[in-house]
Amino acid sequence: MPELPEVETVRRGLEPVLVGRELVDVDIRDGRLTAPADPDAVAHDLRGAVVASVGRRGKYLTIGLDDGRTLVCHLRMTGWFHHVPEVNERPHLRAVFELDDGTFLLYSDQRRFGTMRLIEAGELERFWAGRVGPEPLEDGWTPTSLRIALRGRVAPVKALLLDQRVVAGVGNIYADEALWRARIHPLTPGGRLGPQRVGRLHDAVVDVLERGIDAQGASIDSYRRVDGTLGSMQERFMVFDRTGEPCPRCGNPIVKTRVAQRGTHFCPVCTRPR
Ligand SMILES: [Zn+2]
């Protein structure tokens, strides 16, 4: 699933393609994408709109329109935007946006978990409330704010990192990488982490997300950039997807277990036990 670095890379690819462009035609071919809203009604409402901005909130992409409305997109498992000079029919094509420069933005989604919601002007903050917490790459997110979010929590710290209300945009890959970097066992109850370990975890989360953006995301499954090329973060993983391979810090084999129903990779030797 695309996480913050992948979604941010998509955002950076979409921005020069979309900003200032009019959506001259919109075809939404899959009702699941806009549910419960009717896909034809959403397509109709988007036709003629001009894109003012392309933003990101956690793992959501936000396409801001010049009338104040926002198309909020979540790629979920396999959603993918591809900018092309002409529409080429392909499997899993779910939506087509025709731009006023004669090019097209295609949205493909093999597993069909992706979503698009058209939010009315002034309603965006209400949409985020209760869904997404602090942005980890903004100045307001500090070791103290992370410590407050973890205080008293008995759930494993890995599960808490995956909770978008604790910190926005972190998913399975970057949670494993950050915990390894901070030398914290993924099953450690969040509330048991003292200021020192929380400080290390905060810095590690920021560090792995910035590395992920720098590498233009991790292409381990269907994730591609808007121009169709791959990211390279998968070549820089320390623990994720490296079960049985030597830990880069101590040389012992990386182990895979399950936490919060997610495959979790860690080093049982140099990661401090809970
Ligand atoms: Zn190790």
With contact defined as beta carbons under 8 Å apart, do 84 and 226 qualify?
Answer: no
Per the annotation, the verdict on 2 as an active-site residue is yes
Residue 88: the pLDDT is 86
173-182: pLDDT as tens digits = 999 999 999 9
- Listed in order, strand segments (DSSP E) in the chain are 23-28, 51-57, 60-65, 70-74, 79-84, 93-99, 104-109, 115-119, 255-259, 262-266
Number of Cβ within 10 Å of residue 28's Cβ equals 22
Catalytic-residue membership of 195: no
Distance (angstroms) between ligand 1 centre and the Cα of 28 equals 48
pLDDT for residue 274 is more than 70 = no
pTM score, two decimals? 0.96
pLDDT tens per residue, range 243-273: 999 999 999 999 999 999 999 999 999 986 6
Average pLDDT, the chain: 96
Burial class (CB in 10 A: 0-12, 13-18, 19+), 163: middle
Rounded to the nearest whole angstrom, what is the distance from the C-alpha of residue 249 to the centroid of ligand 1? Answer: 5
pLDDT band at 1 (very low <50, low <70, confident <90, very high): confident
Which of these is catalytic: 59, 69, 158, 181? 59
Q: Quick one: pLDDT at residue 225?
A: 94
Q: Is 3 a catalytic residue?
A: yes
Q: How far is the C-alpha of 95 from the C-alpha of 126, rounded, in Å?
A: 26
CA of 253 to the centre of ligand 1 (A): 8
Tens of pLDDT along 59-109?
Answer: 999 999 999 999 999 999 999 999 999 998 888 999 999 999 999 999 999
Indicate if 210 belongs to the active site: no
C-alpha 243 – ligand 1 centre gap (Å): 12
**Percent of the chain scoring above 90 in pLDDT:** 95
Largest separation between any pair of C-alpha atoms in the chain: 58
